Chains A and B, each alone.
Chain A
Amino acid sequence: NAGVTQTPKFQVLKTGQSMTLQCAQDMNHEYMSWYRQDPGMGLRLIHYSVGAGITDQGEVPNGYNVSRSTTEDFPLRLLSAAPSQTSVYFCASSYSGRARGYTFGSGTRLTVV
């Protein structure tokens, strides 16, 4: 089925561990982005990409790393997990930021203990 696929759906990490949240889309979308959802804060932009090889920081980039080597994939790396990174993470993609809305993945619930 066409869409945005995020893995894993749930993850528990210990403080200091690193991990990669995977995001893949099969719609040939150029625009991809990562968001975190926290109570009372809404959805906040972490990193975004407007095409393969091009990434930029959003509102809350510290502690996260991204790369975009292909159009399809946009992984989010947590370098050294901290309890403050406990959140629900959403990946989204779009044909363009202007012509179409974004399609969201189903989210990854991450707990850092």
Chain B
Amino acid sequence: ILNVEQSPQSLHVQEGDSTNFTCSFPSSNFYALHWYRWETAKSPEALFVMTLNGDEKKKGRISATLNTKEGYSYLYIKGSQPEDSATYLCALVRLSGGGADGLTFGKGTHLIIQP
């Protein structure tokens, strides 16, 4: 069983503050690292797919970095807004005999932005 770990489990942040959280994963057979945003009563939505060591991706106020050698990724949110409240999931894709396997998810970081 793969261990994809996310920390912290939950986070309360004041509106306007910046925040970040961590995803750690085993680095063997690495293929890709995904980040998803999951709002209550909705389905997960893809934020980023990262494949190369040192990758940095950005979408608006949200950015992510990847270190495949040491097995971690950071997600950053700059100037948090109430609409950023959600659970943020990372998921690992590894190489397998058929090419790539499905997503192995961490348990997520539940982010609450307080006005």
Segment at the A interface, from B19-27, B65-73, B75-83, B98-106: B98-106
Determine how close the nearest CB of chain B comes to the CB of A50; give it in whole angstroms. 5
Does B96 lie at the interface of the complex (its beta carbon under 8 Å from any beta carbon of A)?
A: yes
A74 to chain B, nearest CB (A): 11
In the complex, per-residue mask of A23-37: 1 if CB is within 8 Å of any chain B CB, else 0 = 000000001010100
Quick check: A42 and B102 within 8 Å, CB to CB?
no
Number of cross-chain contacts by CB at 8 Å: 80
Type the 1/0 row for B87-103, where 1 means its CB is closer than 8 Å to any CB of A. Answer: 00101010010111111
* Binary flags per residue of A75-107, CB closer than 8 Å to B gives 1, else 0: 000000000000000101000111111111111
How many residues of B are counted as interface, with CB atoms below 8 angstroms from the partner's CB atoms?
29
Q: Which of B41-87 contact A (CB under 8 A)?
A: 43-49, 51
